[in-house]
Each structure stands twice: as C-alpha cells, then as structure tokens.
Structure 1
C-alpha cells in the first residue's frame, strides 16, 4: 500500500505538504500541488486520498493523535495518562504512536496519525526539525507541541522554563556553600538539556565563579549514562563537593557510582536531580530535585488543543515555572565554616 512518505519523496516535498494537498487546504503553492497530484496519480494513491479528504471535510473523528518518543517510564506514562484522562472528559479519544528517538520514526508516527484522520495533534518531539513542524502547522490540522519552544509557533508550544530550573538548583547549592559543582548534562542536541546547562552557567556567572568544563559531563537522560558520566568526572581528579544531575534517572546512576567509589551522600558529596519523578522521594537519602510540572503542562496542552479545535483565542499558560523540592541529599557546608 502506498504511503504518504512515498508520495512526498516522489513529489520532492514534505509529508506535511502532501497532507495539506490531500485535505484540500489553500496553503500550498501551485507548483507543489501539481507535483503532489502527479505523484498521487503515479503511485495509485488517489482513491484513498480523496476518500480521506471528503471525510475530513464532513465530520470530526473525535480523536486526538499523540506522538511521544517512547511509551515506557514514569515521565511519558504520566504525560499520556494525563492527556488521555482530560480529553476523555471532554468527549475525545486519543490515538498514540511512539516514534522512537529518531527523525524517521517520528515522521512515520505522524504519517500513521494523519492517515487515521485525527482531529488534532499533540507532539512531544525533539527529533523533528523546526522547519518540518512549521510546515506541518500550515495545514488546517490543529497542533500543540509540548516541552519545546519554536518562535514561529509560539502560540502552539507549551514549554517549561528549563533554564530557570537549572539556575534554581545551582543557586541553591551555592547558597549551601558549594562552589565546585559537577554538572551531568543531558544530550546537548536537545533543547531542554541545553537550557538546564545554561541555567547552571548563569548561576555561576552571577556568583562570580568561572565555568569549568572539567566539571561538566554529557549523558543521555538514562541511569546508565549518568553512571558513565560520573566515572569520567572521577577520572579527571577534579575537586568537587556536589553533583547536579539534570534528571533523576541520571542522579540514580551518579549515586550508584559515588557509593561504589566510597563517597557518602550527603556527608561527602551532595546530590541534586531534576524532574521529581516518583522514586526521587525513595532515594537514600531522599533526593533534592526540581519539580517538573508535567501534569500542568499536559492540562495546558489539552486546553490549548480544544481552543484550537473550536477556533477560539489561545488563552493558556505557555511557559511554566519549575520549583525546587528540598529533601535530604544536600549538605549545608556553611554550618561547618
């Protein structure tokens, strides 16, 4: 069976442009529309596309499509559960596709949802380019992007102030007397990871402390990568009294390596995470971390998508503020001076 991807490749346009032609929008140039129509005819896609176009103009499916990188873990399960619960209360069902952490996988997920005539899309994606998503938004299909900001789509993005979160943690550690602070960053090709690192740097600059590359190690938002990053830092033989891991999974990996290496927490090394996922409070000691307002982000996303579906003015909180959850994993060095 011919797919939208095959049509887009033959026509030399994006899948989003093919979708716009299928759905009969006017926001496609004449030349691109001709190329798509030729590809549809050549590949035998015309009959199915016309049926979809007719259906999309006559009735809603009562379904919102959601794309996430994966289905496992408390972070994505919380997102999906919150969105599903809220949309069901409003009379909508959800259709979920996990596109993996690859551009191709997430494009395939979008194609799948478009072929199933969803009324709108809620996307959690860092792999699809800004241009691709901007192009997709030009269709008549309402779109909301969560945990990401694109300036050209500023009324379609629900984001969290990750830079402020990184700064909150670093300022707290500085206040507690820590100056040599290891930062275990997430993958720096992702916007949220870069923002948390920038918050860390900003707090150091504000305190008059020079940024030191040897105290920073990049990881992948997983327990294993956090452990690997901590081992790298230990091999550098640099002095430190605290570690800021930019998510709680990495903090768990960091903790394991520190304990294996003979460090006690927080007596010898303080540890802070980010996200405040459920198990953070069951750390030994209980983990100080940043509360990531996942539920609020999802509630705002649902409200925004409903407003878009009903063609109402967008009136939501587009940028949410994190907060610090202070527990028992940080030692106050000022008490010993």
Structure 2
C-alpha cells in the first residue's frame, strides 16, 4: 500500500503538505498541489479514510435520514445541505425511514455504527424521548421540520399552523366561504398543524368548519386527485380548495379539470411548500412558501459549526411561512 511519505518523497514536499492537498485546504499553492496530485496518480495512492478517521476521531461524513426520496421536497432539502457540506469537503450518507418508527430507529443506529460525525434527521415516527436521549448521549444532530422543546436548540421547523392559516385566510379574503381542504396524512405533524391553521382561519372569519369538506390524503398528487373525486362524488359545493402541499394541489387541479371545472374561474386552488414546479403550472400555483432548501443549508451549516467549528453559530429554530400569490386563486 502506497503511503503519504512515498507521495511526499516523489513530489518533493513534506508529508504535511500532502495531507493539506488531500484535505483540499486553501493554504497550498496551485503548482505544489499539481505536483502532489501527479505523484499520487503515478503511485496509485488512495487515501485511507478509515485509517485517517481512527487517527482524528472524525470520518467527515454526515448521516441524513428523510422519510422518502419521492417528490421534489426532500430532494430540494437534501440538495441545500449537500451544497454546504460539499464546499466543506464533507460527505453524506442518505437513508430513508418511510415514516416507520422501527425503520427510522434502525437507520439512525446504522448511521451511528458507521461512525458518522453527526446526523440531520427528518423523522416522523420515532418518539420525542428517543431523540432527546440521542442528544443526551452527545450525538450531534439537527432535527428538521419538527420542534421538540427539550432539545429546541437542535431543531429547525416551519410554523405550519401559521402556514395553514395564511392559505385559508387568503381564500377567505377573496370572498370564499365554501372552502374544501385536502389534508396531508394526519398521523404526521405537518398534516395536523396545517389543518389546525385552516380551522383557525375559518373560526376567525365566523365560518363553521365542515368536516365533510375535508379529505385526508398522503401529500402525493394522486391523493389530491382522489380528494377532489371524493368531494365531487358526494355532491358537495365548494368554490375553493386549500391543499396541504403543492403535489396534492397539482393533482386537485387535474381532477377539477376532469370534472369540467376551470381553475381559478370556477374553483380557486392554493398549495403549500412552493416547490420548483409550482411556478411552472398553468396557471402558476398560489402557495405558501416553505424555504426548504434554506432549511437544509442551515442544518448543514449548524452541523459544521458544532462538530468542526467554533460553536458560535446561532440557528433560527422556527421559521415563519410566506404567502405567494399567483394565478390559481381569484375573487369570487
């Protein structure tokens, strides 16, 4: 096995300089870097990450748990983190927990057994107590899209109650009173909190909440279609639909058109998340902005500061959503 010492001798530099090239630091002159890289190539040198991690007690890898890889929401969040970590020469292991408690636990433990330096967790099924215990065990972690009071310093979340409120209040301000609601899965905090915001806006406007106008979905487009089909089959009257996310909104718009209704002329539709395709629909989707890429970047930056940095970064723990008005809503 080729050693750093052999590379340094061929390149005519010190072993410390070779290490700086391997770690991609900015303190090495470009000409020197090229000499070292050339020597590494000639000798067939491959950096032994395991040996380096044993010496430094750092693997420079971050474990990342998300519920699923389907759709653009989680991809956008992970991309926000990956960009920050890549610039710092760190790596990610991304796994899925599928909102299943046993699987989430297994994946977290698997990442820790692989000596990840820290974790970024978008988990929905494991208990608050389990996550609190991890922090007590000095596991560096950030919990995304979930707020746990005991470990609030380790959490980044969006105020989803306010987001749900903003969406429905927008429809009420446009004159709508018969407002259907397509919720996300109600075993998830996102689904519950956004529905709570919807109910709050109705109550504030003196509109009675009609549970028959709420259909539970699963945050995917097909459930948005199914929700509209169910409302139409029941013969229920509504002039607007608030959806728990943009994917469900896109499915709802497709179903409304299949039922001969125009958006927004006959029915206004509002989504939630403001994912990339929301501004490419026709008409463009009115929605609530969830700064998911920024949250991913913030989580990664906090990990870098806490694990490899100066412990001085202040993280914003609860973000406020913003209404984005486009073309799928109109005055009644």
- Alpha-carbon offset, residue 99 of structure 1: 2.4
Name 1:78's counterpart in structure 2: 76
Name 1:165's counterpart in structure 2: 163
Q: Are the counterparts in 2 of residues 303 and 316 from structure 1 also a CA contact under 8 Å?
A: no
- Alpha-carbon offset, residue 318 of structure 1: 0.6
3-state SS of the aligned residue for 1:328? coil
Name 1:231's counterpart in structure 2: 229
Measured in 2, the distance between the counterparts of 1:79 and 1:287 equals 20
- Alpha-carbon offset, residue 107 of structure 1: 1.7
Name 1:113's counterpart in structure 2: 111
3-state SS of the aligned residue for 1:155? helix
State the Cα RMSD in Å: 1.7
Name 2:25's counterpart in structure 1: none
Q: 1:218 aligns with which of 216, 219, 236?
A: 216
User: 1:156-191 deviations in whole A, cap 9, x for unaligned?
Assistant: 110011111111111111111101110100011111
TM-score by length of 1: 0.79
Q: 1:136 aligns with which of 134, 137, 160?
A: 134
Name 1:242's counterpart in structure 2: 240
3-state SS of the aligned residue for 2:180? strand
Measured in 2, the distance between the counterparts of 1:141 and 1:195 equals 28
Q: Which sections of structure 2, spanning at least 5 residues, go unmatched?
A: 1-49
Measured in 2, the distance between the counterparts of 1:208 and 1:180 equals 12
Q: Are the counterparts in 2 of residues 56 and 117 from structure 1 also a CA contact under 8 Å?
A: no
Q: Does 2:66 match 1:59?
A: no
User: 1:5-24 deviations in whole A, cap 9, x for unaligned?
Assistant: xxxxxxxxxxxxxxxxxxxx
1:65-104 matches, cutoff 5 A:
65-104=63-102
Q: Are the counterparts in 2 of residues 187 and 218 from structure 1 also a CA contact under 8 Å?
A: yes
- Alpha-carbon offset, residue 313 of structure 1: 5.0
- Alpha-carbon offset, residue 56 of structure 1: 7.0
- Alpha-carbon offset, residue 304 of structure 1: 2.1
Name 2:304's counterpart in structure 1: 306
TM-score by length of 2: 0.80
3-state SS of the aligned residue for 1:171? helix
Q: Does 2:188 match 1:190?
A: yes
Q: Are the counterparts in 1 of residues 84 and 301 from structure 2 also a CA contact under 8 Å?
A: no
- Alpha-carbon offset, residue 66 of structure 1: 0.7
- Alpha-carbon offset, residue 260 of structure 1: 1.0
Q: Greater Rg, structure 1 or structure 2? A: 2
Name 1:26's counterpart in structure 2: none
Tell me how many residue pairs correspond in the alignment. 280
Q: Are the counterparts in 1 of residues 119 and 141 from structure 2 also a CA contact under 8 Å?
A: yes
Q: 1:254 aligns with which of 242, 245, 252?
A: 252
Measured in 2, the distance between the counterparts of 1:151 and 1:233 equals 38
Name 1:320's counterpart in structure 2: 319
Q: Are the counterparts in 2 of residues 273 and 289 from structure 1 also a CA contact under 8 Å?
A: yes
Q: Are the counterparts in 2 of residues 66 and 123 from structure 1 also a CA contact under 8 Å?
A: yes
Q: Which sections of structure 1, spanning at least 5 residues, go unmatched?
A: 1-51
Measured in 1, the distance between the counterparts of 2:194 and 2:238 equals 19
Q: Are the counterparts in 2 of residues 214 and 236 from structure 1 also a CA contact under 8 Å?
A: no
Q: Are the counterparts in 1 of residues 79 and 293 from structure 2 also a CA contact under 8 Å?
A: no
